[in-house]
Amino acid sequence: MGATINGSDMVSGDLSVRLAARQDLEPLRLLMDAAISELLRPFLDEEQIASSRLIMGLDVQLIEDRTYFIVEADGELVGCGGWSRRATLYGGDRTPGRSPALLDPQVDSARIRAMYTSPSHVRRGVGRLVLARCEAAAREGGFRTAELMATMAGLPLYRACGYVPVEQVEDARGGVPVPLMRMRKDL
């Protein structure tokens, strides 16, 4: 990780990472929308993609907790993702059944949350970069394991980064069942 310039930690090539702030909300929503529309298409039908929108997306709590990161390339938002010390495993602001309860790092797994890359910037290491940053922060927070709920689009990234499947899930809260995989990694 390189020097800090203007609040951004300069990292590899033209990519930089910084904490997300409230003024990033609208660009973040647009990025997530594009990623859900385009990158889930090889794995899900249109109904499942519509259903996914209700069980995925932005969780403003992560921004307030200062655990949500943005990746920029030459100042353009190209990716995002975060981690959490709260119980909610996945889902956006509109997803039912969320829990803000604080986890115990001694016994619980940190959550990896809401990873999205702009369709114009996939396979350039953006997801890997955010994930490494989240894992480092969770480790610093005392967590020994990390857990996440993977979409079918996210599965290859998480496998490549050392996460192992622990439970196959179907979430029908958005209307039709959407396949998901709960995964875990020792930090």
Residues that bind ligand COA (CB under 6 A): 35-36, 39-40, 79, 115-117, 122-128, 150-151, 153-154, 156-157, 160
Coil, strand, or helix at residue 138? helix
**Cβ closer to ligand COA: 105 or 119?**
119
> What separation in angstroms does the CA of 40 have from each of 11, 129, 184?
28, 21, 22
**Cβ closer to ligand COA: 115 or 137?**
115
**Cβ closer to ligand COA: 152 or 187?**
152
**Cβ closer to ligand COA: 97 or 106?**
97
**Least distance from C-beta 106 to ligand COA, angstroms?**
26
**Cβ closer to ligand COA: 60 or 73?**
73
Query: What are the helix (H) ranges across the chain?
Result: 25-39, 46-55, 60-64, 126-140, 155-160
**Least distance from C-beta 161 to ligand COA, angstroms?**
7
- Residues 19 and 10 sit within 8 Å (Cβ to Cβ): no
**Least distance from C-beta 172 to ligand COA, angstroms?**
17
How many whole angstroms separate alpha carbon 25 and alpha carbon 108? 29
**Least distance from C-beta 169 to ligand COA, angstroms?**
12
**Least distance from C-beta 152 to ligand COA, angstroms?**
7
Which stretches does DSSP call E strand in the chain? 4-5, 8-10, 15-19, 68-73, 76-84, 110-117, 145-150, 164-171, 178-186
